[in-house]
């Protein structure tokens, strides 16, 4: 069908021209770094977010993935998804959403899991470096 074709094009597009590849200085206090591995295959993904402390939103995002095409496409898609999101919303992204958008086959589900793990790990690294701006503080409790 046409929509299946469009989904395959989205996957191929993120695979052949990944968005937001690169890295940031992980020493910067406004940068959170996530480095995760997939036990199933040994692939590794590094994802970094720059956070605007005024409203706790992600102002920039970069990744490097040493892995398969599905992992690269998943991380590329994720970077476009989380730009401009609050840390709270970005932390709620599930790998199943990514897998559904990119139409990954079941055997490639763990590749999208790498992207979910990476954004969670980047967020938690940011909170570790900026303990004053945790979600609890923002909600005023």
**Cβ nearer to ligand FES, comparing 38 with 135:** 38
Point out the residue whose Cβ comes nearest to ligand FES.
Answer: 68
What is the smallest separation between the CB atom of 88 and ligand FES, expressed in angstroms? 26
Beta-bridge partner residues of 64: 46
Q: Are 31 and 49 in contact (CB under 8 A)?
A: yes
Q: Active-site positions?
A: 41, 111
Q: What is the dihedral of CA 11, 75, 81, 95, to 10 degrees?
A: 90
Min CB(50)–ligand FES separation in Å: 25
Question: Rounded to whole angstroms, what are the CA distances from 112 to 25, 39, 57, 128?
Answer: 25, 13, 22, 25
Question: What would the x/- binding string for ligand FES be over residues 56 to 85, using CB under 6 A?
Answer: -----------xx-xx--------------
Interface with ligand FES in residues 13-32 (CB under 6 A): none
Enumerate binding residues for ligand FES (CB under 6 A).
Answer: 38, 41, 43, 67-68, 70-71, 108, 110-111, 114
């Amino acid at each position: 069908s046409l929509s299946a074709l469009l989904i395959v094009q989205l996957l191929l597009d993120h695979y052949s021209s990944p968005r937001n590849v690169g890295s940031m200085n992980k020493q910067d206090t406004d940068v959170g770094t996530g480095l995760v591995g997939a036990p199933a295959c040994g692939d590794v993904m590094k994802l970094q977010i720059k956070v605007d402390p005024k409203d706790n939103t992600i102002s920039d995002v970069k990744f490097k993935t040493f892995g398969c095409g599905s992992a690269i496409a998943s991380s590329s898609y994720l970077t476009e998804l989380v730009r401009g999101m609050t840390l709270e919303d970005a932390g709620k992204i599930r790998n199943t959403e990514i897998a559904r958008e990119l139409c990954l086959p079941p055997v490639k589900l763990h590749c999208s899991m790498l992207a979910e793990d990476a954004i969670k790990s980047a967020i938690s690294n940011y909170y570790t470096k900026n303990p004053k701006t945790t979600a609890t503080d923002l909600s005023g409790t």
